[in-house]
Amino acid sequence: MSYQEEYEKWCTDPFFDEKTKEELEQIKENKKEIQDRFYKELEFGTAGLRGIMGAGTNRMNQYTVGKATQGLANFIKKQKQEQRGVVIGYDSRKNSKYFAEITALVFNANGIKTYLFETIVPVPELSYSIRKLQCIAGIMITASHNPAKYNGYKVYGEDGAQITSPVDLQIMQEVKNLQTYSTIQTISKEEALQKGFYQTIGKEIEDCYIEEIKKQLQNIEEIQKQANLSIVYTPLHGTGNIPVQRILKEIGFQNVHVVPEQEQPDGNFPTVEYPNPEDKNSFTLALKLAKKVEAEIVLATDPDADRLGVYVKEKEDYIGLTGNMSALLILEYLLSQKKEKNILPKNAVVIKSIVSSTMAEPITKKYGVKLLEVLTGFKYIGEKIKEFEQNKEQQFLFGYEESYGCLAGTYARDKDAIAAVALLCEAAAYYKEKGISLWEKMISLYKTYGYYKESIKQITLEGVDGAEKIKNSMQKLRENPPTKIGSYSVKKIRDYQAQTILDVSTNEKKKIELPVSNVLYYELEEDGWLAVRPSGTEPKIKYYMGVKGKSFEDAKEKLAEIEKEVEKYAD
C-alpha cells in the first residue's frame, strides 16, 4: 500500500477516531507532510520506538503505541509468560501518561498483568523495578532528551535492560504480522481492575531503588564532613526532581538549591528549546542561580533522568564537563576507593561504548581492571551484565557512554543519572576534604593519563529526503574510504556493518566480534579516532572524534584539525 493509500485509509476507516481524522484533514493538500507521516512505520532503534507525536504510521499516537504493545503481547503469550506481568513507567512529556495507560490496557486485554507507576518515574527506577517485581518485560514511555514534539516507547527485557537482538527483531516481526490496527485488543480500565490485571505501584519501589543507589557509595562519612557543599540542580521539567533531592538529602548534603523555574514537570519544556543536559543552553538558569549561591557543582538531568550534565566551579567561573569527563571522574573515584579499601574484585570489568573516550584504557590498566567495548546504546552494556551474571566469570563494575550516561553496580540495567548525581557529589565532598576541587581532580587525571579530548558533530536530516542523505553519506565513506583525516594517517578502518577491521598498511582484514551496526570507525595516528553513525533515536548523522595530546593546547589543536576535516564529510 502506498503512503497516499495509507493516508486515505486513516481518513475513512471507522476504526480511527474523529480527532485523528480531523488532524489528517488539515494536511490533505500537503503531500510532503502526508508522505512523511505515512511512508514507513516507526521502527525500533537503539532505544525502541521514538518519533514526533501526531496522526500517522510514522508518528507516536495511540494506534502505533497500541500496535507495538499488541505485538509485544503476542510475543509474551508465545513464551507463555503472561502471569509474570509487565511494569510500565512514564515521564513528564505530553501524552506520556495517556500512552502508558493505553499500553497497560492492551496488555490487560491479552490477559497480561501490568504494574503501572502512579506518577512520573526515572528510567533507571523502571529498569530496577522489572527485576524487583520479577516481570517478563518493562515499558518506559519517554523520548529522553528529544524536543517537546517527540515521545517514545522503550522496551525492556526481564533482566531490566533494553531489548537486543534477536528479541527486538522477533518482537518487531510480531508487530509486522498485525495486518490492521483493528487487531489491537483493549478493555476498559474498570474491567481490567475487576479482573485484577491493572495494578499501580510507587513509593515502595522508590524506597528500594534509593537504597540500592546508597550501596554504590564509597565514603558517606566524608559527606558528613562536607555537608555544606553548595549544589545547584535542575531536573529540566522532568522526572529527576524528587529522587535527586531525596538521595542528596538522605546521604547528608544540606546545601542543595533547585532551579525554581525548572523544578515542576512540564512536557512543553517552556524554559529550554531542547531539554538536553548535553546542550549548554539548558544550563542558563542553573548557572545564574549557581553564581548567586556560589555553588561548587551544577547538575542537570534530562526528562527521564538517565543522563547527567555537569558544570564545576573554577575560581570565579564555571566549566562544563562532557559526558566522558564526568564518567571518567566517577570511574577513577570508584576504582581508587575500592583499591584503597581492598574491595576491588579481581574479575572486575568496566564497559564503554565504541564512541566514548579512550581515556578509560589507561585508567583501567592502572588498576588492573579489564575494559570492554560495546556498540552505542546502553542496552549493549545491559546485555553484558546479564552475560556476566550467567557465566559467573566476570563482575560488572561500571559502564558509560559519551552521551552523558553511566551506571555503577547491577541493580539497574540502564543509565542512571540519579546515582551519578550521588556518586559525583560524594566524590566532590571527598576531594574537597582533601583540599581539591572536582576540576582540579580532572586536571590531575589529564596529567596522569594524558590530555584526552573528544567532540561530536551532529547533522539533523529529517523526513524521507533526510534519510536518503544519511544513507548516501555512509555509502560514500564506504566506497571511498579516507586514507588521511587532516594530517593524520588512517591506521585501521572498522566497519561494524561488514564486521571487519581493515589494517590500511597491510590490507589485512580481521573479524569484529560485535553485532552488525551501521558504524564506521577510523583509528588514526597518535591515538586519534573518528567514528560515523546514523542516530538510532533521531533523524541525525553523528560524527564522533577524539585525540590524545601532550597538553590542553596540543589536544585542542589536534581536535580542531579533525573537526575541520569532518566539515568536508558533513557537506
Q: Position of cell 586536571?
A: 443
Q: How many helical (H) and strand (E) elements, i.e. helices and strands, does the chain have?
A: 19, 23
Q: Residue 326: in which H helix or E strand, if any?
A: helix 323-340
Q: Position of cell 528529544?
A: 146
Beta-ladder partners of 349: 370, 396
Cβ atoms of 58 and 39 closer than 8 Å:
yes
Q: What's the rounded Cα separation, in Å, for the pair 350 and 372?
A: 6
Q: What's the rounded Cα separation, in Å, for the pair 524 and 505?
A: 12
437 counts as catalytic: no
- C-alpha cell, 541: 548523522
Q: Which of 92, 96, 129, 144 is catalytic?
A: 144
Which amino acid does the sequence have at 390?
A: Q
Q: Residue 335: in which H helix or E strand, if any?
A: helix 323-340
Cβ atoms of 563 and 485 closer than 8 Å:
no
Q: Provide the strand spans (E) within 354-448.
A: 370-374, 395-401, 405-408
Cβ atoms of 49 and 152 closer than 8 Å:
yes
Cβ atoms of 449 and 362 closer than 8 Å:
yes
**Closest to 532 (Cα-Cα) out of 250, 490, 197:** 490
Q: Position of cell 522489572?
A: 130
Q: What's the rounded Cα separation, in Å, for the pair 62 and 100?
A: 10
Cβ atoms of 148 and 40 closer than 8 Å:
no
Q: Position of cell 578502518?
A: 493
Q: Which residues are catalytically annotated?
A: 144
